[in-house]
Structure 1
């Protein structure tokens, strides 16, 4: 076996340091609220990197191990590399954990009320989710409110016929996948708006008669597309303003195309004083459905608190359905 020359070792070590720095930068992207100020041609890359920042954490850890292993022949350098990488990774991990825990515990002190609603939400993948699968999930969870994003009139009708739930407004199809529906028990919704116009896709809103809670079905643009990024940034601001302007309890449920690792989404949650119904710091991932890695779907509440929650797969959809009990 041919030994590696000292010069080659130095080159490899320097490359390893460069990679470690790049991976650490990637892993720290959730802390960068810079998407709005970057040039459009590259701006969409930042939310994409933020969504999968955990891959940067893994890569940085592997790179650190390789550097430590390669530096053990020189004891002093090996120790320095080891200490530096452990400190950097520990600080990064603590920062990420603190970020997640802060959002998870927001509103945790709210006392449970006398009534509750079970909310379920699913992106149906342009209506491709199996009707039977949606109905089975509804039969299993028995939600009081069902939000369907990327849905169609035909899909909503099939769910209505099988479950007894009723859509509060017609499904609009001004763009592909734009249809969003809120379904509740017949007579449970009072004031209804079929589309607020806040998001590119339909955003229906309904006030529930008994709880007086306002429910919004949300489906935003995706930020990882150059032509749609500006719309997504504006939607995060507009949703924050809408939620913050509600007088009574408010529930936003649907596909936000945003993860907790996106600063813009965290601003929406914090500034509007919303609580995430996720069940854990990060919550179960919802996309892609087969091997979920990122939580893009959320149930956010104001003027109420979150109880039990979870996620489940519905055949035909590229997202997993989410549900949560909201207490008043």
Structure 2
């Protein structure tokens, strides 16, 4: 009887008891399903869009579950954590691999949400101009900021197109420009034909509708409207620069990403987050394109704006 009692005691308490892992297996399964199927969550009141935008951060659950498995001494849970870990790496981790860009650069572009009420817009654009872009696209430029911005840029960017609160400054001649209706109450986008090296490039400077928690309808309509414009545009070389008010991982951006390539995905390193500037957690600012080859894509922290700038080079 003593021997039987010892065996029962050892079997119930020694080692890493596999049965301790079952609560964690459920948590791992839920995390795996969320990483793999976040786009299946219904987009009711923008919930699906919000989860899509936050999807890269789901990977934070992997080390937390791994630590919990270690603390509970469960081999089976620790092994199971590899499943969401590998899935996250496959879906999001590749952004950190060496980019596919490189080569000589013939056209450099930059985009900056200037910030309404920017206390020093000249400093913002001067910092951006120091990186040497050929084209600078600005959003949220207003009457108070136009003069200081012009003063900071006019020497090296003699050509300009502007509509409402968006503007394009260029080293190269702008052949024509026109406002673009994205379905807002006022025009907040423009289309310009730039006489760039190697031939004309059509450039859209865009600030799409805002998205709020529980209300992304306006933003979603402006994405679809802009996509319709791009679909009908017959330009061979085309770039979209601006604040699209949605992340690359958001399903609602698909109408555009089905038509255009993403410079950050093709030639950048990492997720390229731009907002909020102090500690960015998402990327509403984009460089999308077709008919060109991206050589690099970067993010620049400029002063006085609540957005970081995005830059890209094409060959």
Tell me the residue number matched to 2:4. Answer: none
Tell me the residue number matched to 1:167. Answer: 160
Tell me the residue number matched to 1:183. Answer: 169
Tell me the residue number matched to 2:218. Answer: 231
Unaligned runs of at least 5 residues, structure 1 = 1-5, 7-11, 73-77, 173-178
How many pairs align?
290
Alpha-carbon distance in 1 for matches of 2:117, 2:108:
23
CA deviations 1:236-257 (Å, max 9, x no partner) are: 3333333333322111001112
Structure 1 residues 167 and 308, CA, compared in 2 at 3 Å: closer, same or farther?
same
Candidates 189, 196, 219, aligned match of 1:203: 189
Tell me the residue number matched to 2:47. Answer: 45
Structure 1 residues 94 and 154, CA, compared in 2 at 3 Å: closer, same or farther?
same
TM-score if structure 2 supplies the norm length? 0.78
Alpha-carbon distance in 2 for matches of 1:236, 1:132:
30
Tell me the residue number matched to 1:117. Answer: 107
Alpha-carbon distance in 1 for matches of 2:77, 2:125:
56
Alpha-carbon distance, 1:215 to partner? 0.6
Alpha-carbon distance in 2 for matches of 1:112, 1:20:
43
| 8 Å contact from structure 2 (residues 49, 251) kept in 1 | no
Alpha-carbon distance in 1 for matches of 2:304, 2:286:
20
Q: Which has the larger radius of gyration?
A: 2
Candidates 226, 244, 248, aligned match of 2:231: 244
Alignment of 1:244-323 (within 5 A): 244-247=231-234, 248-269=236-257, 271-277=258-264, 279-280=267-268, 282-323=270-311
Alpha-carbon distance in 2 for matches of 1:264, 1:283:
18
Unaligned runs of at least 5 residues, structure 2 = 1-12, 14-19
Candidates 82, 99, 106, aligned match of 1:86: 82
Q: CA RMSD in A?
A: 3.3
Classify the secondary structure of the residue corresponding to 2:147: helix
